[in-house]
Amino acid sequence: MKSRKEHSTNSINEKYWKEHCGITQILSLIGGRWKINILVYLLNEKKLRYNELKKRLVGVSERMLIAKLKELESDGLINRIVYQEVPPKVEYELTERGKSLEDILNRMEKWGEANLPVK
Amino acid sequence: MKSRKEHSTNSINEKYWKEHCGITQILSLIGGRWKINILVYLLNEKKLRYNELKKRLVGVSERMLIAKLKELESDGLINRIVYQEVPPKVEYELTERGKSLEDILNRMEKWGEANLPVK
DNA sequence: TTTCATACTCACTTTTTTGTTAGTACCATA
DNA sequence: TATGGTACTAACAAAAAAGTGAGTATGAAA
């Protein structure tokens, strides 16, 4: 994965706001193209294998999916469960912290649906 | 403002998910570094002038602030109120649609605060 | 006549995110 | 011995987001 430039204004701003503001913090955990949808699928289906996620996330590339799963895992929102089998089998599920987002995700989804035809 | 490439995979994916999923839609309205904080300040302080917003959004550049205000305005989340004075005076406030995000923003803020010391 | 304050605009560069393509390891089965 | 399925990895390229620094219009006040 690319490393961020520690001393760019961009990352200084990001750091400042994450530290001073919870809402920026949560955005950084669930923001971007794919993460929030991964969370929603896991919320609805409890456990999903890597390939099952991939099928649902229409258009996602291997690289992005893996990268986002790793971020979610290291942020403590999902668990990665490895089965010692061949061919490999890996499942993903929400952690308790991940599940605690349920209410917010549901409300966001609802608001989004209600406001779909924007512009 | 830079124009997006209509036919990049990136924007095809973005379009697909916006159209198929409310939660992606809402993320595109409030995501990024600055927009959600603009909304929160306007939620708390009702009306703010351009310069007042600028002071609160520590680190923001003129370009980003204007760009994000324009996006929020064209997405129907804020109103821009121009006073015919010199020097110019412009105020920003939430629209009804913008205000309807209050509950979600508050919950996000709360979750974020509760989960600040991540990792 | 110069300075000042406000709310911008513009051309450009850097940084970050996202996507592409071609791999790998493992063993089971054909 | 070759093929297949799963869950990845890694080098590279394109696109998008964010930031920089200088400039504009207006009329009032010094």
CATH number of the domain encompassing residue B48: 1.10.10.10
Secondary structure class of B99 (helix, strand, coil): helix
Give the pLDDT of residue B5: 85
**What confidence category does residue A117 fall into, taking pLDDT thresholds of 50, 70 and 90?**
low
Residue A108 lies in a domain: yes
> For residue A4, what is the DSSP state?
P
Are the Cβ atoms of B33 and A25 closer than 8 angstroms? Answer: no
How many domains is chain A built from?
1
Are the Cβ atoms of A24 and B31 closer than 8 angstroms? Answer: no
Q: In sequence order, what are the residues at sequence separation of 6 or more whose Cβ sits closer than 8 angstroms to the Cβ of residue A70?
A: none
Q: Which residue has the tokens 């919320």?
A: A43
Residue A81 lies in a domain: yes
Residue B67 lies in a domain: yes
Residue A107 lies in a domain: yes
In chain A, which residue's Cα lies nearest the Cα of B40? A23
Q: How far is the CA of A51 from the C1' of D3 (A)?
A: 20
The beta-carbon neighbor of B25 closest among A40, A101, A112 is: A112
Residue B118 lies in a domain: no
B1-54 pLDDT, tens digit each: 457 888 999 999 999 999 999 999 999 999 999 999 999 999 999 999 999 999
B80 pLDDT more than 80: yes
Residue A2 lies in a domain: no
Secondary structure class of B85 (helix, strand, coil): coil
Residues of chain B with pLDDT > 90, as a percent, come to 87
B107-118 pLDDT, tens digit each: 999 999 998 754
A77: domain range? 33-114
Angle separating helix axes B102-114 and A22-30, nearest 10 degrees: 90
Residue A10 lies in a domain: no
Distance (Å, rounded) from C-alpha A107 to C-alpha A31?
A: 16
Give the pLDDT of residue A69: 97
- The answer for A 93-112 residues in CB contact with B (under 8 A) is 97, 100-101, 103-105, 107-112
Residue B59 lies in a domain: yes
A32 pLDDT more than 70: yes
